[in-house]
A and B are shown apart, each in its own frame.
Chain A
Amino acid sequence: MLTIIKILFGTVTWSATFRLSTPIILTSVGGSFSKQTGTFCIAFECFMLSAAFFAAWGSYLSGNPYIGALLAIVAGVILAAVFGVFVLHFNANPMIVSIALNFGSWAMTTLLLTKVFKVRGFFHSPKIVNFQSIDIPILRTIPYIHKILNNQIILVYIAYISIFIGAIIMYKTPFGLRLRGIGINQVGAQTSGVNILKYKWIALIIMGVMSGLGGAYMPLSGLSMFSENMTAGRGFLAFAAILVGKGNPLKAAFIGILFAYTNAITLTLTSFGVPTQLLQMMPFVVVILVLIISSLKNFSKNPTINNQ
């Protein structure tokens, strides 16, 4: 019994939850903005993976993780812009563009890995400098909390702050109102004088910046390495969080934290000899369960399908 409580509420689990949720939260908060404007995007895997590579590269070259994060943001924004040009200006199907970008970025980063670092599979080097963990004096004194919240790296704090900033922008500012207006009724927003394209582009750029940061977290959070296909489905988890949260940063982040919590619990369970594959599967099973629970109200015995 005690071990169960320890696993569910222990500081180790919660501290891991905070760490693991960071990339998903960053990406899903950014993606919520583009979701609100009605842009359909599943290319988060592409943004995060490319950002992760450039973060590692930038940090390797300069010895400064902040430069790495900056490069990651640039990579994220450029790829989001490519996505934007194809989808918003060339009328391309967003799904197929996303799939092509996801694959293209996987091939590109793997290729760059062999060209730049002359290795296959993964590159590990102490020259890739990580973010330092931050010691916050106020948090140090609080029991229990200090083991969870204190001594995390700066991106973790940025992620959690961004949830609230994102929510405030989305629901308390004129800018957010217009964004949501475009998503609800595009023609209506246009007739009331909103420049739709401009808002869609701003939302895309926000998405690029945030998923760039989310990608930068992975190589610079203490691992000092970049490996082929490092994101391993986190982009899709973020997409699921955005979809369940319906573009609300608070809800999306909550779902992201739930995924991370499942992941953290399963990490502690590894030491009990549970097969790793089942543990790796758990966050994805939770996604399906969350989707079912959040759609229970839609259940009907005589269903009708609508275009979604």
Chain B
Amino acid sequence: MKLKISHEVKKTILRYGISIILTLLFGSILIAIQGESPLEAVGHIFEGAFGNRINIGNTIRWIISSLMVGGAAIVAFKSGVSNLGIEGQLYMGALSAAIIGYSIELPHGLHVMACLLAASILGMLYALIPALLRVYFKINELITTLILNFIAKYLTEYITMWIIMGGQQSANGSASITTPQILNTARLSTIIKGTTANTGIFIALGILFFIAFIYKYTLEGYEFTQIGQNMSFARMGGVNINKSFIMVFLMSGLISGMGGGIEVTGSYYRFMPNFSNNLGWDGIMITRVANNNPLAVIIVSIIWGALKQGALHMERMTTLNRLVVIIIQMLFVLFVSIDYDNLFSRWKEKIRLKKTNSKGGSSIC
């Protein structure tokens, strides 16, 4: 029996295959010129990510963050909403979770839920600003979300330093600007002892499966996808674009905010400025690498999380900096973004034209 492979599948295999080969090639060169063995480096990354119980736990901790931001990004980008503001929504969510976490007292389960709820709502409200500006003022959400990131960053730092910590006397140096630790009742329980791998993983996976379900089996999901593919067509088909657009934005903000909340209640146990380290941007890249497929986001998130944790181990064991891993990740993102199918068909066309041209030329002579 001959195995039938559809064009789409072939395209996908081609795309990822070439990208991986190119990335490995360039990555090896990058590592080799620093005088280290690429194979050894990969070994250290693997060992650091999955070597023992503690390492696996820490990897899961990073997978949770990747899943949350990936989920936030996929909701937005699948529907054509360019939400570059995941970073800002994360900050707002994280800060509100931290405040609820240390300031009020509630029983264990309830307290965590209150924290995450507050984080989600704040993230959602922060996403409402660019959504309304886009709908009512026709301002491109790309720029508003981008700028709101910076505002969120400085605003949360201001609130932490001047309102929560009460001014300058306690703040010397950016490292010490933090909120008080959240109470024990507000913490997500850990699933692997000695690490910060927490129950947030179930929330994150649940959200991604939920997204996959919505987009595949519900009418709303179909409408959202339509908007992403062709907005005019969707409008002609009777989709209420304004409503859907705002809803998608709110959903994306909600997941981002909750992601920030999980970071605080699950791993950091406090809010500090610069905690996210550009996590929001990771989400956008994860989504694009996963080609807007919710289930592929899970796979890519695992890779992203493993690399983040493995890079730390690699840095300890070799002379390589962990930034090398980030550069290699960016190379991969760049290579995956190439439209190979189009490229190859154009090349084929060129070669065909050249052949016919040379034939034609010879016949005239």
Pair B136/A299 contact, Cβ less than 8 Å: yes
Task: Knowing that A95-B142, A307-B232 touch, tell me 8 more A-B residue pairs with CB under 8 angstroms.
Answer: A90-B338, A96-B284, A99-B284, A107-B324, A284-B147, A303-B138, A305-B135, A306-B231
Pair B231/A239 contact, Cβ less than 8 Å: no
28 A-B pairs whose Cβ atoms sit less than 8 Å apart in the complex: A86-B337, A89-B343, A91-B343, A92-B339, A93-B288, A96-B288, A96-B333, A97-B337, A100-B333, A100-B337, A103-B281, A103-B326, A104-B330, A107-B324, A114-B321, A239-B143, A277-B158, A280-B154, A284-B147, A284-B151, A291-B133, A291-B139, A298-B139, A299-B137, A303-B138, A304-B235, A305-B135, A307-B231
Determine if A281 is an interface residue (Cβ-Cβ < 8 Å): yes
- What residues on A are CB-neighbors of B242 within 8 Å? 303-305
Pair B321/A111 contact, Cβ less than 8 Å: yes
Pair B284/A281 contact, Cβ less than 8 Å: no
CA distance A91 to B360 in the complex (A): 32
- What residues on B are CB-neighbors of A96 within 8 Å? 284-285, 288, 333, 337
Determine if A194 is an interface residue (Cβ-Cβ < 8 Å): no
Pair B330/A103 contact, Cβ less than 8 Å: yes
Determine if A161 is an interface residue (Cβ-Cβ < 8 Å): no
Pair B137/A305 contact, Cβ less than 8 Å: no
Determine if B144 is an interface residue (Cβ-Cβ < 8 Å): yes
Interface centre among B82, B154, B232 (most CB of A within 10 A): B154
- What residues on A are CB-neighbors of B296 within 8 Å? none
Whose C-beta in chain B lies nearest to the C-beta of A305?
A: B241
Determine if B327 is an interface residue (Cβ-Cβ < 8 Å): yes
Determine if A223 is an interface residue (Cβ-Cβ < 8 Å): no
Pair B137/A295 contact, Cβ less than 8 Å: yes
Determine if A285 is an interface residue (Cβ-Cβ < 8 Å): yes
Whose C-beta in chain B lies nearest to the C-beta of A93?
A: B337
Whose C-beta in chain B lies nearest to the C-beta of A286?
A: B147
A247 → chain B closest CB, angstroms: 14
- What residues on B are CB-neighbors of A192 within 8 Å? none
Whose C-beta in chain B lies nearest to the C-beta of A283?
A: B150
Determine if A139 is an interface residue (Cβ-Cβ < 8 Å): no
Determine if B155 is an interface residue (Cβ-Cβ < 8 Å): yes
Q: Residue-by-residue, is A82-118 near B (CB-CB < 8 Å gives 1, otherwise 0)?
A: 0000100111110111011111100110110011000
Q: Which of A92, A284, A296, A306 contacts B337 (CB 8 A)?
A: A92
Residues 309-347 of B at the A interface (beta carbon under 8 Å): 321, 323-324, 326-327, 330-331, 333-334, 337-339, 342-343
Determine if A233 is an interface residue (Cβ-Cβ < 8 Å): yes
- State the B residues within 8 Å of A (CB): 34, 80, 82, 133-140, 142-144, 146-148, 150-151, 154-155, 157-158, 161-162, 231-232, 235, 241-242, 245, 278, 281, 284-285, 288, 321, 323-324, 326-327, 330-331, 333-334, 337-339, 342-343
CA distance A298 to B284 in the complex (A): 29
CA distance A306 to B80 in the complex (A): 11
Q: Which of A277, A298, A299, A300 contacts B157 (CB 8 A)?
A: A277
Residues 259-286 of A at the B interface (beta carbon under 8 Å): 275, 277-278, 280-281, 284-285
Pair B327/A100 contact, Cβ less than 8 Å: no
Q: Which of B136, B281, B326 contacts A107 (CB 8 A)?
A: B326
Q: Which of B134, B151, B334, B337 contacts A305 (CB 8 A)?
A: B134
- What residues on B are CB-neighbors of A300 within 8 Å? 136
Main secondary structure, interface of A, reads: helix
Known: A100-B285, A103-B330, A236-B150. A288 touches B144 (CB 8 A): yes
- What residues on B are CB-neighbors of A103 within 8 Å? 278, 281, 285, 326, 330
Pair A275/B288 contact, Cβ less than 8 Å: no
Determine if A74 is an interface residue (Cβ-Cβ < 8 Å): no
CA distance A300 to B134 in the complex (A): 12
Pair B158/A281 contact, Cβ less than 8 Å: yes
Determine if A243 is an interface residue (Cβ-Cβ < 8 Å): yes
CA distance A305 to B278 in the complex (A): 30
CA distance A33 to B151 in the complex (A): 28
Q: Residue-by-residue, is A172-190 near B (CB-CB < 8 Å gives 1, otherwise 0)?
A: 0000000000000000000
Q: Which of B143, B278, B334 contacts A100 (CB 8 A)?
A: B334
CA distance A239 to B241 in the complex (A): 27
CA distance A64 to B204 in the complex (A): 53
Main secondary structure, interface of B, reads: helix
Pair A92/B338 contact, Cβ less than 8 Å: yes
Interface centre among A86, A90, A102, A115 (most CB of B within 10 A): A90
Pair A90/B161 contact, Cβ less than 8 Å: no
B93 → chain A closest CB, angstroms: 19
B240 → chain A closest CB, angstroms: 11
B123 → chain A closest CB, angstroms: 18
- What residues on A are CB-neighbors of B137 within 8 Å? 291-292, 295-296, 298-299
CA distance A285 to B231 in the complex (A): 30
- What residues on A are CB-neighbors of B278 within 8 Å? 103
B109 → chain A closest CB, angstroms: 35
Interface centre among B82, B140, B162, B334 (most CB of A within 10 A): B334
CA distance A104 to B146 in the complex (A): 18
Determine if A287 is an interface residue (Cβ-Cβ < 8 Å): yes
Known: A275-B162, A284-B150, A292-B137. A97 touches B334 (CB 8 A): yes
- What residues on B are CB-neighbors of A277 within 8 Å? 154-155, 157-158, 161-162
Determine if A308 is an interface residue (Cβ-Cβ < 8 Å): yes
CA distance A114 to B142 in the complex (A): 33
Determine if A207 is an interface residue (Cβ-Cβ < 8 Å): no
CA distance A298 to B137 in the complex (A): 5
- What residues on A are CB-neighbors of B144 within 8 Å? 288, 291
CA distance A89 to B338 in the complex (A): 9
B92 → chain A closest CB, angstroms: 14
A267 → chain B closest CB, angstroms: 15
- What residues on A are CB-neighbors of B158 within 8 Å? 275, 277-278, 281
Q: Residue-by-residue, is A124-162 near B (CB-CB < 8 Å gives 1, otherwise 0)?
A: 000000000000000000000000000000000000000
Whose C-beta in chain B lies nearest to the C-beta of A293?
A: B137
- What residues on B are CB-neighbors of A91 within 8 Å? 338-339, 342-343
- What residues on A are CB-neighbors of B154 within 8 Å? 277-278, 280-281, 284
- What residues on B are CB-neighbors of A95 within 8 Å? 82, 142
